[in-house]
Amino acid sequence: MTAEEDKLDKSWRDDEGRWHWTSEDRTRMREQGREWKLASDTLLDALADRLSPDSLESARRFQHGGEYLWVFSGLAAELVNHRIPITPEERDLLASVLYSMEPSRPDDHPAIRDRDQVMVALNVVNARAET
């Protein structure tokens, strides 16, 4: 197999540091993006009355731009830092997303990097209190 043929089978970085993705990688990333979009829609809609207006607006802006790492890292931090009550179903959806994400740099998105601690620190309630 030539070097050019080998490049067709896997993702690679060129001499200028740009990534080149295989069609399989692009398909996987599109599918994952759709899953994250659906999960962010579901969680942000469900939590809209429990998040601060600024946090919700910020999350929606990141969501609109397809910046799901920022959506979920900010959401996780907000839920933990403000002890916002969430249901077991909301926790499970958040967990499925956080565990499917990998920040590109170790210092980015501590709520995703430290997701085990986030999951333990969430304020999970069996039934949502009516206000």
pLDDT of amino acid 129 = 54
User: What is the structure's pLDDT at 19?
Assistant: 67
Q: Is the pTM of this model over 0.95?
A: no
The CA distance from 95 to 33, in Å, is: 16
Number of domains in the chain: 1
CB count within 10 Å of CB 37 equals 14
Burial group, residue 115, by CB count within 10 angstroms (0-12, 13-18, 19+): buried
Quick check: is 5 in a domain? no
Q: Is residue 60 in a domain?
A: yes
Does 2 map to a domain? no
In a domain, 119, yes or no: yes
Mean pLDDT per 10-residue run, the chain (131 residues)? 50 70 74 91 97 96 94 96 97 96 80 93 80 48
* Structural domain contains residue 28: no
Tell which residue, 57, 37, 47, 56, has the closest CA to residue 100.
Answer: 37
- pLDDT at position 1 is 45
Residue-number span of the structural domain to which 37 is assigned: 33-124
